[in-house]
Structure 1
Amino acid sequence: MTIFSFKNMMALPLLCFVSTSIYAENTALVTSNGILSGDFGAVSKYIYRGGVENDDVAFQAALEYAHKSGVSVGYWGSTLDYDATDENRTHGFEHDLYIAYGDEINADLSYNLQATAYIYQHGGTVYADAHKRKTTAFDVLGELAYKEFTFAASVLLADASFGNAGDMYLSAAYNHPLPKNFILNASVGGSVYNSGRDDEIVQTTKDFAFNEARIGLSKSLAESSVVASLDYILGGEDRLGEDFDNHVVFGLNYHF
């Protein structure tokens, strides 16, 4: 989230990134103090917590250095089909920078703590009457992994153009190896929204909303570092109670 970044949690949507990381160690650069790894690829759509970040093909890339101490730093980026500060612009880019610490409690149980900054192309501020908000956002994430299950919670630390400080996202994921090197991926996620900081830019009508559920398959191609994935995403609701669409997302990713 290997340490993973969960974003808008975040070189593919959550399920693709978690499942395909299994193959990353095959080509990662191993040093005396840690591992440098990365990936780049594309998905047919970029869907984040049920919402559409790019309704066209999104190109994505990631780079991470994991130190033997358990500390890791990384970058993740994706193309977008919008610009948060210019409604007339039909493209943009998201940059995520994170630092994390993870360790094993025992052979079956591990944890990860992560802080992430989300930075958007052109940065800037969104204005509405007397209110304004930065597009840059910061959150903290906690994960607990038990065997093939991962449970996570992230909290937004400050008001941003898309959310309120205190908004929390809760998720659970399951990844299971299948015959022929296929991997079954499934996840579900929902948000607890803080309506106490609403203004003209961000409004809330739901204290809690189921955002999305995913199920899919991923597979390395011909024992290479290229991984193909296919996910079905069942859309839930946003903070206003408006329904998200369902999506089928295909991904192709190369790990190094």
Structure 2
Amino acid sequence: MSCSLFAKENDPTTESSTISGNVGIVSKYIYRGGVENDDPAAQAGLEYIHRSGIKVGYWGSTLDYNPGNEDKNHGFEHDFYIAYTHQLNQDWSYAIQATAYVYHDANKVRSEQGEKRPITSYDVLYNLSYKNLTLAAAVTLADASATNAGDAYFSASYIYPLPMDFNLNTSIGATAYNSDRDDSVVQTEKDFAFNEARIGISKTFTNTGLTASFDYVMGGQDRMGSDFDDHAVFGLNYSF
């Protein structure tokens, strides 16, 4: 799940279960350095957290393409996930999350050689947090139209609180690509590539549920070694 806004994890150790949600808009939707929507994207999510630390949720975003039909200039991404989060102590926590990435009106892609791959992809995310620093690794579970099983995305993010409810947000991400499963749909030229780095600032408006953000995304490369562009991303999010 990718979003331009940084949000502090809900504490799963509360005595009761909770339901939360969010709706927002970003000027661009950038995912691991690549452009998912070069126009303003509407995004929304809903999450249920059980007091045990288990949570299930949904997040979605508009796209400026359809991965199953290159003639369409619009689409929609649906992310469904289940996770377990545990607070070890005041400073340390960890989480494990399984996510399915489903695309509306898109089933499979076929290469000119006739090979087919599903568009829906699945991964498992592991993260470890110490205060405002989070280290994470996401591993793809099955071949899909844009990924190989075994691709592993590594990231680190740090949030630095500033006065007046501002936060300085930073992150970096890179992928170790598995070329052993290449075919005519997915090819790999880089075994490892830096994908993106972000630096930004966000402002939470107390008692309103609103957060505004600005991120500057420095692009790296994809699995073929093609360069990603840099982007400036503005966002406005309402949480409830």
TM-score by length of 2: 0.95
1:106-129 Cα deviation digits (max 9, x unpaired) = 211100000000000113110011
Gaps spanning 5+ residues in structure 2: where? none
Determine the structure 2 residue equivalent to 1:28.
Answer: none
Aligned partner letter, 2:74: H
The SS at the match of 2:164 is helix
Verify: 1:178 aligned to 2:190, yes or no.
no
- Measure how far apart 1:180 and its partner are: 1.2
- Structure 2 residue aligned with 1:133: 117
Which of residues 101, 117, 140 is equivalent to 1:156? 140
Q: What CA distance in whole angstroms lies between the structure 2 residues aligned with 1:83 and 1:123?
A: 7
| Contact 2:188–2:224, Cα closer than 8 Å, also in 1 | yes
Structure 1 counterpart of 2:85, one-letter code: G
Give a deviation string over 1:26-51, Cα, whole Å, max 9, x none. Answer: xxxxx973010010010000000000
* 2: CA distance, partners of 1:197 / 1:144: 29
Q: Deviations over 1:165-218 (max 9, x none)?
A: 000000000001101110010000000000001111111000000000000000
Amino acid at match of 2:46: L
User: Following the alignment from structure 2 to structure 1, what is the Cα–Cα distance between the partners of residues 187 and 227?
Assistant: 16
Equivalent of residue 68 in structure 1, options 47, 51, 76: 51
Root-mean-square deviation (CA), in Å? 1.5
Between the two proteins, the alignment pairs up a number of residues equal to 237
Structure 1: 5+ residue stretches without partners: 1-6, 26-30
Calculate percent identity across the aligned residue pairs.
Answer: 57
- What per-residue deviation string (whole Å, max 9, x for no partner) do you get for residues 84-103 of structure 1? 11111000000000000010
Cα distance in 2 for partners of 1:245, 1:102 equals: 34
Task: Verify: 1:53 aligned to 2:36, yes or no.
Answer: yes
User: Aligned residue for 1:108?
Assistant: 91
Tell me which residue corresponds to 1:38. 21
Is residue 2:135 matched to residue 1:167?
Answer: no
Q: Which has the higher helix share?
A: 1
Which of 52, 68, 71 is the matching residue for 1:85?
A: 68
Distance 1:123 1:63 in 2: 23
Q: Output the amino acid matched with 1:85.
A: G
Using structure 1 for the length normalisation, give the TM-score.
Answer: 0.90
